[in-house]
Amino acid sequence: MDEARDRGLTLNPRYDDNGLITAVVTDVATGDLLMVAHMNAQALALTIETGFAHFWSRSRRSLWKKGETSGHMLQVRDLRIDCDQDALWIKAVPAGPTCHTGARSCFFRRIGPDGLSRVDEAG
User: Which residue positions form the known binding site?
Assistant: 82-84, 86, 99, 106
From the annotation, which residues make up the binding site for Mg(2+)?
Answer: 82, 84, 86
Which string of b and e fits 37-75 if b means at least 16 CB within 10 Å? bbbbeebbebbeeeebbbbbeeeeeeeebbbeeeebbbe
From the annotation, which residues make up the binding site for Zn(2+)?
Answer: 83, 99, 106
